[in-house]
Amino acid sequence: MSHASSDLLAPFPRVSLCHQPTALEFMPRITAALGGPKLWVKRDDCTGLATGGNKTRKLEFLIAAAIEAGADMVVTQGAVQSNHVRQTAAAACKFGLDCHALLERRVPDRADSYEQTGNVLFDHLFGASIEYRPSGLDMNAEAIAVTDKLTASGRKAYFIPGGGSNEIGALGYVACAGEILQQSADQGLDLGWIVMATGSAGTQAGLVAGLHAVGSDVPVMGVSVRQPHDIQVKNVHGLAVKTAATLTDTPLPVEKVIVDDGYVGAGYGLPTEGTLAAIQLFARQEGLLFDPVYSGKGLDGLINMVKAGFFDDTKDVVFLHTGGAAALFAYETQLAAMG
Contact (Cβ atoms closer than 8 angstroms) between residue 322 and residue 198: no
Distances (CA, A) of 259 to 52, 158, 180, 192, 269: 25, 31, 20, 16, 18
Catalytic residues: 82
Report the candidate in 303, 277, 279 with the shortest Cα–Cα distance to residue 291: 279
User: What type of residue is 326?
Assistant: A
Calpha distance 158→170 (Å, rounded):
17
Contact (Cβ atoms closer than 8 angstroms) between residue 197 and residue 295: yes
Report the candidate in 171, 167, 50 with the shortest Cα–Cα distance to residue 99: 50
Calpha distance 307→318 (Å, rounded):
16
First to last CA, the chain: 41
Q: Chain-centre distance of CA 120, in angstroms?
A: 18
Cis ω for the linkage preceding 21 (within 30 of 0): yes
Sequence-distant (6+) residues with CB within 8 A of 173 are 54, 57, 58, 202, 203, 204, 205, 206, 207, 209, 210
Report the candidate in 285, 279, 339, 278 with the shortest Cα–Cα distance to residue 307: 278
> Are β-strands 258-260 and 220-224 bridged in parallel, bridged antiparallel, or unpaired?
parallel
